[in-house]
Amino acid sequence: MFLCVLPMVGRAELLYQSAGIGKTHRAGIDGPMARIVVVGEGMVELAGGGGATGWQLGFGGDTLNTAVHLARLGDDVAYLTALGTDPFSDDLRRAWAAEGVDTALVLTDPDRRPGLYAITNDPDGERHFTYWRSDSAARRLFALSGIGFALEVAARADLLIFSMISLAVLPADGRAALFDLATRVRAGGGRVAFDTNYRSALWPDLADARAAHAAALRVTDIGLPTIEDEAALAGPGGPVDVLTLWRAAGVGEVVVKRGPDGCIVDGVDVAPPVRLMPRDTSGAGDAFNAGYLHARLAGRSPAGAALAGHRLAGWVVMNRGAIPAINAEAPYAALTAG
């Protein structure tokens, strides 16, 4: 990597270019090689439990899963988060970079380490999580050295992605800073995608979660809610109720995910191409988000993008772990080809 110092160029711009993030594209959701920034928490993952020797060590986290899938699809994507200085943090940085995710926006907390979670599955493939994340480095992301520069870089994104989990792991001032970043991205011509992904255990109470949810909708262009999460937040209701709520908040494009029953997009029911018996549903919604957003960035219609999301999610649920290793059945090449 070469860095040429030119007259009249500021330090931040030089760092921006040296990190490989310099760009002039600002075409929005349907332009070539749009710059994507994803915000959240990446963690160490234990999957495939089966006794003391049956666990496999990997990595995951809802928005991280989406970022990795987008990178595998050839998109230009950076992950904004924080890790520590420990060996696990070093391994995570290397693994994400090997997947094609830009780690220039991964900040360092010298006093904390990444979170950890374990996945167990019931006979139907439904996953259950156990977390150790209360003191993770990502919780202090917006208070760390280097965050000012990282936010300047992130504000130039064409697409910003975050979730309710991204918000839940942050203190109140961190959430406010993330909402401000979303506002800046939109003011610069970019768009913001938000996935509910509500986990009640991460929130002190329902009122706090509802307030964060409402604030997020006000800075969102592309909504990716899941029907179960919305029911847990707002009470019982169907896809039309979710669509009405998000549209009333000003979200222009809304995809209501319904798990194995497909999704509702633009008021149209888009079913998965094949009904599957999943092995592991970890990361299915995250994969759908990646497939959908990649297809929209490539100029496909919302309904066509939903089919792409179903295809990627379908492959994920037939394999173990939130981010399965690429195998012969992986649909990345086909989805990239259109």
Q: Annotated catalytic sites, by residue?
A: 286
List the one residue out of 106, 114, 57, 60 whose CA is nearest residue 84: 114
CA distance 8 to 107: 27
Matching residue, tokens 């109470």: 205
The amino acid that residue 217 corresponds to is L
Long-range interactions of 208-215: CB distance < 8 A, separation 24+? 209/164, 209/168, 209/233, 210/234, 212/164, 212/167, 212/168, 212/175, 213/164, 214/249, 215/175, 215/179
Q: Which DSSP state fits 130?
A: E
Query: Edge to edge, what strands does the sheet with 263-265 contain?
Result: 106-108, 76-83, 35-39, 159-163, 191-195, 222-223, 253-257, 263-265, 268-270
CA distance 304 to 309: 9
Q: How far is CA 44 from CA 57, 66, 124, 150, in A?
A: 7, 16, 24, 23
CB atoms within 10 A of CB 197: 23
